[in-house]
Amino acid sequence: MFKKIIGLFSSDLAIDLGTANTVVLVKGQGIVINEPSVVAIQKDQNSKKRILAVGKVAKEMVGKTPNNIKAIRPMKDGVIADFHTTELMIRYFIEQALKRKTFFSPRVVICVPYGITPVERKAVKASALNAGARYVYLIEEPMAAAIGAGLPITEPNGSLVVDIGGGTTEIGVLSLGGLVLCKSIRVAGDKLDQDIIDYVKKNFNLFIGERIAEDLKIKIGTAIQLKEELKTIISGRDQVEGSLTSVEITSEHLRAAMKEPLEKISEALLSVLEETPPELAGDIVKNGIVLTGGGALIRGIDKYLSDIIKLPVYVANEPLLAVTRGTGKALDQLDLLQQAAYEN
Ligand SMILES: Nc1ncnc2c1ncn2[C@@H]1O[C@H](COP(=O)(O)OP(=O)(O)O)[C@@H](O)[C@H]1O
Ligand SMILES: [Mg+2]
């Protein structure tokens, strides 16, 4: 009874703790935070660390910081590279989301990458509890992505979702409310950016940073041949001369640069399809597969994958927010979750 009363006053939270972006939804209010998972830390003379910025402001510092400031992506690669910073980040986002809006501690559902270890799961839970959460539930990314994309996961009908994020691509086969099969590979948006950096270096003798590579990917990147190829001018440091120069780069260059990581994603998808039990595979052939995550926005990625797997491929509505919406739906069903074996 008492718990129910508390529940009425607290603003429960759904958090998509992504390797690239963290999105927080407050029950009854919708999305209140959508920021890069980046923390800028400053070291003072005594080597004591303090947080300088979190989110967008911190991301803008990447590659531009003096020696005593470090912009860290604690969840990079889908593993918690840095527990302490991850904890600071989770606390910061929870505090921001709750600002003056509640006087009871919230219940929190956090979506974590499938690939994280039990120790990392514990650390995420502990961080949220330290930040004032009353209960913390974890949900796996492919599950949240499938719910958010509106797939009929509770039915005895196989669904397949591919979430292409920053650090990881997670491929899940779901049926009857459970993950039947899942594969997580460390090839996603960040790897595309890195391969663009390498390509530009090799082919144009030009050094560009991560942020420029990401901009290129978004602006002119494509997985398939375009009727009208795109182009843009980039500047960077000439590797030989050391001087600053500009070159023209096209979507064809980008396609070449991204070829290998995209192939890795399609290979992982093929291998999951091969391992899928035949009854569920039959459903997937009928229903097709759904893409979520920022990588679903790569030009032509649906057609590219569809040509390889010979099945229909759909991009979820607002793919960058699918996981958050799915985590939010899990929050609505918290009472069910509480009974089920979700508390992990
Ligand atoms: N329009 C776009 N085209 C291609 N890639 C994109 C686009 N928008 C975002 N991305 C990429 O999506 C990735 C972030 O996706 P997201 O689903 O938020 O990842 P995560 O869940 O790991 O935090 C980044 O690598 C980003 O560069
Ligand atoms: Mg994600």
Secondary-structure class of domain 189-257 per CATH? alpha beta
Integer angstrom CA distances of residue 276 from 43, 150, 157: 50, 21, 13
Question: Mean pLDDT score of the chain, rounded to an integer?
Answer: 90
| Ligand 1 atom with the shortest distance to the CA of 167 | 22
Report the C-alpha gap between 39 and 291 in whole angstroms.
28
Of 39-53, 99-113, 130-144, 193-207, the range with the lowest mean pLDDT is 99-113
Mean pLDDT score, 279-296: 96
- In short, whether 166's Cβ falls inside 6 Å of ligand 1 is yes
138-159 burial, b for 16+ CB within 10 Å, e for fewer? bbbbbbbbbbbbebebeeebbb
Residue 340: the pLDDT is 45
- In short, whether 167's Cβ falls inside 6 Å of ligand 1 is yes
Mean pLDDT score, 284-290: 96
> Ligand 1 centre and the CA of 338: distance in Å?
31
If we measure between CA atoms, which residue out of 90, 78, 105, 87 comes closest to residue 12? 105
Cβ < 5 A residues, ion ligand 2: 18, 165, 323
Structure tokens at 97: 């989301």
CB half-sphere exposure, 45, CA atoms < 13 A:
0
Residue 341: the pLDDT is 41
Residue 4: the pLDDT is 56
> Residue 173 belongs to what H/E stretch?
strand 169-175
Residue 80: the pLDDT is 81
pLDDT confidence of 301, banded at 50, 70, 90?
very high
Residue 180: the pLDDT is 94
Say if residues 282 and 157 touch (Cβ distance below 8 Å).
no
The yes-or-no verdict on residue 196 having pLDDT over 50 is: yes
Ligand 1 probe mutation, 38, 210, 214, most atoms within 8 A of CB: 214
Ligand nearest to the CA of 36: 1
- Length of the chain measured in residues: 344
Query: The domain 160-187+258-319 is classified under which CATH number: 3.90.1150.10, 3.30.420.40, 3.30.1480.10, 1.20.1260.10?
Result: 3.30.420.40
pLDDT in tens, 55-73: 999 998 877 777 788 889 9
- In short, whether 217's Cβ falls inside 6 Å of ligand 1 is yes
Ligand 1 probe mutation, 16, 17, 19, 21, most atoms within 8 A of CB: 21
Mean pLDDT score, 252-259: 98
Atom 4, ligand 1: which residue's CA is nearest? 298
| Ligand 1 atom with the shortest distance to the CA of 192 | 25
> Ligand 2 centre and the CA of 163: distance in Å?
7
pLDDT in tens, 162-179: 999 999 999 999 999 899
Question: Can you give the residue ranges of every domain in the chain?
Answer: 2-37+73-144+323-339, 160-187+258-319, 189-257
- In short, whether 297's Cβ falls inside 6 Å of ligand 1 is yes
DSSP state of 342: T
Query: What's this model's pTM, rounded to 2 decimal places?
Result: 0.93
Residue 213: the pLDDT is 96
- Which has more confidence, 63 or 248? 248
Question: Do 2-37+73-144+323-339 and 160-187+258-319 have matching folds?
Answer: yes
Architecture of domain 2-37+73-144+323-339: 2-Layer Sandwich (3.30)
3-state SS, residue 257: helix
Query: Which among 48-57, 97-106, 197-206 has the top mean pLDDT?
Result: 197-206
pLDDT in tens, 84-132: 888 899 999 998 988 755 567 889 999 998 888 899 999 999 999 988 8
- In short, whether 319's Cβ falls inside 6 Å of ligand 1 is no
Residue 146: the pLDDT is 96
Of 88-92, 101-105, 255-259, 301-305, the range with the lowest mean pLDDT is 101-105
| Ligand 1 atom with the shortest distance to the CA of 37 | 23
